[in-house]
């Protein structure tokens, strides 16, 4: 009895609470969208009394609207992708990958900012090591010199680890861009 009740409840929830998108009934392409389209038959059409969305239009509610990663220009009657260019992102990733420039280019700031901060830290740390090393070169006594050398060794080790992390991140990003597996900041696949 408990299993039957559970199954009936699940079926009722599916039937009653699921919003079904029905195709919009139409007599012409003009019935399929509330947007002004210069040449409706090119992007939106009415086939067998059902709206059909083509190219950069999509149907979420039965009515054709411009898809998320596209823009429609009524003056030129053209549809174009708003996604960033894949090749540009790939080249930037390979040449400037450690700086996060490719992720800035595609609008993925959650990756770009940590990469830039890590890159800047790695560039500043050697300067700190040089200053500390120069300070330990004076005649401050053996204890200060040994202590300075230990600090320099630890900082150099940290720098090595950070460089390996950044290099790994750079290679991983390059592979992700080569495979075109990263979407831009708007969630669009990069345009080839």
Each residue of 18-57: pLDDT tens digit? Answer: 444 455 577 777 778 777 777 776 788 888 888 888 778 8
C-beta separation of 92 from 103 below 8 A: no
Q: Which of 8-12, 18-22, 27-31, 148-152 has the lowest mean pLDDT?
A: 18-22
Rounded Cα gap, residues 45 and 33, in angstroms: 10
109-144 pLDDT, tens digit each: 999 999 999 888 888 877 777 776 666 555 555 656
Secondary structure letter of residue 25 according to DSSP:
B
C-beta separation of 43 from 79 below 8 A: yes
**CA 36 from chain center: how many Å?**
31
């Amino acid at each position: 009895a408990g299993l039957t009740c559970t199954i009936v409840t699940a079926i009722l929830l599916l039937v009653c609470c699921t919003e079904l998108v029905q195709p919009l009934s139409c007599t012409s392409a003009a019935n399929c969208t509330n947007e002004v389209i210069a040449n409706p038959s090119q992007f939106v059409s009415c086939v067998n009394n059902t709206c059909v969305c083509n190219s950069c239009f999509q149907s979420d509610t039965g009515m054709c609207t411009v898809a998320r990663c596209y823009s429609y220009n009524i003056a030129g009657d053209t549809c174009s992708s708003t996604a960033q260019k894949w090749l540009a992102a790939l080249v930037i990733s390979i040449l400037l990958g450690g700086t996060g420039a490719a992720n800035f280019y595609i609008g993925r700031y959650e990756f770009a900012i940590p990469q830039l901060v890590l890159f800047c830290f790695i560039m500043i740390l050697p300067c700190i090591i040089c200053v500390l090393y120069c300070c330990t070169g004076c005649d401050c006594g053996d204890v200060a010199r040994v202590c300075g050398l230990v600090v320099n060794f630890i900082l150099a080790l940290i720098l090595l680890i950070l460089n390996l992390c950044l290099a790994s991140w750079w290679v991983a990003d390059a592979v992700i861009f080569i495979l075109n597996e990263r979407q831009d900041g708007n969630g669009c696949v990069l345009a080839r």
